[in-house]
């Protein structure tokens, strides 16, 4: 884009930085592409941020200082209802400087609670509608058997659902990270969405085959790494597990009983580990996008993926990999019939071109440009009687040309 396309002044609003996960990586890359600052409720202690992106926390002391810290820090990645409620409330007014921006790109679901100025435009990239309110609602509810507790949770979820849908009124443009999430947005919000895949970064490559299968992710129950480990316990093939999380100790105890399963924990150079592997195995529960699957394809490695969520869209039988059902028996059968000679690394990488950084950057800029151009009437800060932008306040002029890449 050039100044002739749009002079939109853009900011990124991300709900919080409890660490650096997929949502945070997206916010950072979006800020780089748009040359925009990131506003956020807080950055958790120990979270390392890059020097080339400006991150502005507007409620830092509240979440990281006494006396509130112990209450808000507990399971602060979306599992603490008190922290979630506070972040949602703090998003409504957020930082006072946000009203100076023409377009706000909202990253993550809670950022949608920001109440914009009347002449602002909002692009919302939720990663997914809150799954505990919609497609995973019954699964979460089934884990609570006590009638009074179940009734309370139903009421709690109903209230959140109403607030979540009310906040849709603030959004001018929804953007989904996959066709699966676009379908969820259509189903639960009755709004359309543009698909812009998150970027795959890193030195993904293939350097041969050292005879092991690999899986990696956050070691959490919804990633089903334990299911993969159990499946390989009955096979002659080697499995290397990379990653850290709440199930690491349990997986290490399990792997200690089998010579063909190795748990390496967090691996700094995951690209080199994947480069020498036979194939990647991935079995997350109803994954929204599946960065691991995209990274495997960028490396030219076949993907043995679960027939659920977006993972099933990534696996094209005979071209990029094989699908299995989320059972030990199905994984074993798929690994046994898998033949690496049936797959071509160059063909797999060609399918992965959709995840290239340049395509992400172009798609995101186009969405912002189109949303800014959809504005009706004089642009923010303009005097109706003059066709010039020179009368805008300095605060609104500071990111002039921000989209000129």
Q: What is the domain count for the chain?
A: 2
Q: Are 119 and 190 members of one domain?
A: yes
Residue 395 lies in a domain: no
Q: Is 211 exposed, middle or buried (0-12, 13-18, 19+ CB in 10 A)?
A: exposed
Give 105's DSSP letter.
E
Q: Are 92 and 188 members of one domain?
A: yes
SS3 (DSSP) at 301: coil
Q: Are 186 and 80 members of one domain?
A: yes
Token readout for 302 is 């076949």
DSSP string, 130-187: -GGGTTTHHHHHHT---HHHHHHHHHHHHHHHHHHHHGGGG-SEEEESSHHHHHHHHH
Q: How far apart are CA 318 and CA 337, in angstroms?
A: 12
Q: What does the buried/exposed string (b/e) look like for 25-42 if buried means 16 or more CB atoms within 10 Å of the residue's CB?
A: ebbbbbbbbbebbbbbbb
Residue 391 lies in a domain: no
Residue 46, phi-psi category: left (phi > 0), alpha (psi -120 to 50), beta (remainder): left
Number of other CB atoms surrounding residue 270 within 10 Å: 19
Q: Are 301 and 365 members of one domain?
A: no
- Which of 355, 383, 400 delimits the end of a domain? 355
Q: How far apart are CA 343 and CA 338, in angstroms?
A: 10
Give the pLDDT confidence score for residue 94 in this predicted structure: 94
Residue 389 lies in a domain: no
Residue 324 lies in a domain: yes
Q: Are 127 and 88 members of one domain?
A: yes
263 and 252 in contact (C-beta within 8 Å)? yes
Give the position of tokens 């642009």: 379
Q: Are 244 and 255 members of one domain?
A: yes
Residue 164 lies in a domain: yes
pLDDT values of the chain reduced to their tens digit, one per residue, 405 residues: 433 345 789 999 999 998 887 889 999 999 999 999 999 999 988 889 999 999 999 999 999 888 878 877 776 555 688 888 999 999 999 999 999 999 999 999 999 999 999 999 999 999 999 888 888 778 777 767 777 877 888 888 899 999 999 999 999 999 999 998 999 999 999 999 999 999 888 899 999 999 999 999 989 888 999 999 999 998 999 999 999 988 999 999 999 999 999 999 999 999 999 999 999 999 998 888 888 999 999 999 999 999 998 898 899 777 999 999 999 999 999 999 999 999 999 999 999 999 999 999 999 999 999 999 985 444 444 433 333 334 333 333 333 333 333
Token readout for 369 is 């440009």
Q: Are 236 and 144 members of one domain?
A: no
Q: Are 35 and 165 members of one domain?
A: yes
Partners of 282 in the β-ladder: 305
Q: Are 350 and 369 members of one domain?
A: no
Q: Are 146 and 294 members of one domain?
A: no
Residue 294 lies in a domain: yes
Residue 5 lies in a domain: no
Q: Are 153 and 88 members of one domain?
A: yes
- Give the relative orientation of helices 225-232 and 328-337 as an angle to the nearest 10 degrees: 60
Element (H, E) at 226: helix 225-232
Instruction: Output the domain CATH number for residue 186.
Output: 3.40.50.2000
* Boundaries of domain holding 154: 10-199+357-374
Residue 401 lies in a domain: no
Q: Are 120 and 245 members of one domain?
A: no
């Amino acid at each position: 884009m050039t100044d002739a396309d749009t002079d939109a002044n853009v900011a990124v609003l991300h709900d919080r930085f409890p660490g650096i996960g997929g949502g945070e990586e997206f916010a950072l890359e979006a800020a780089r592409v748009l040359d925009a600052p990131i506003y956020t409720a807080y950055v958790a202690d120990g979270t390392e941020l890059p020097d080339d992106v400006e991150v502005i926390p507007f409620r830092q002391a509240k979440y990281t200082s006494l006396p509130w810290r112990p209450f808000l820090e507990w399971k602060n990645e979306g599992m603490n209802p008190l922290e979630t409620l506070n972040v949602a409330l703090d998003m409504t007014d957020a930082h006072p400087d946000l009203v100076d921006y023409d377009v706000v790109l909202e990253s993550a679901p809670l950022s949608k609670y920001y109440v914009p100025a009347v002449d602002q435009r909002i692009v919302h990239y939720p990663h997914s509608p809150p799954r505990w309110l919609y497609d995973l609602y019954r699964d979460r509810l089934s884990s609570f058997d006590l009638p009074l507790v179940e009734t309370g949770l139903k009421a709690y979820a109903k209230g959140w659902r109403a607030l979540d849908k009310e906040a849709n009124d603030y959004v001018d443009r929804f953007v989904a990270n996959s066709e699966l999430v676009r379908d969820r947005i259509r189903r639960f919000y009755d709004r359309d969405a543009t698909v812009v895949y998150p970027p795959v970064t890193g030195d993904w490559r293939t350097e041969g085959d050292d005879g092991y299968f690999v899986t990696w992710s956050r070691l959490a129950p919804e990633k089903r790494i334990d299911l993969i480990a159990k499946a390989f316990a009955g096979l002659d093939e080697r499995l290397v597990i990379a990653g850290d999380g709440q199930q690491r100790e349990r997986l290490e105890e399990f792997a200690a009983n089998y010579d063909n399963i190795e748990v390496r924990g967090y691996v700094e150079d995951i690209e080199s580990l994947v480069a020498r592997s036979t194939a990647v195995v991935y079995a997350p529960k109803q994954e929204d996008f599946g960065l691991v699957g995209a990274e495997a394809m960028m490396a030219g490695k076949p993907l043995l993926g679960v027939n659920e969520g977006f993972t099933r869209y990534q696996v094209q039988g005979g071209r990029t990999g094989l699908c299995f059902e989320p059972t030990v028996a199905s994984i074993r059968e798929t690994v046994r019939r898998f033949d690496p000679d049936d797959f071509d690394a160059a063909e797999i990488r060609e399918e992965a071109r959709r995840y290239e950084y340049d395509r992400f950057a172009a798609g995101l800029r186009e969405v912002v440009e189109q949303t800014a151009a959809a504005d009706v009437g004089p642009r923010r800060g303009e005097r109706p009687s003059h066709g010039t932008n020179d009368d805008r306040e300095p605060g609104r002029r500071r990111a002039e040309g921000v989209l000129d890449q």
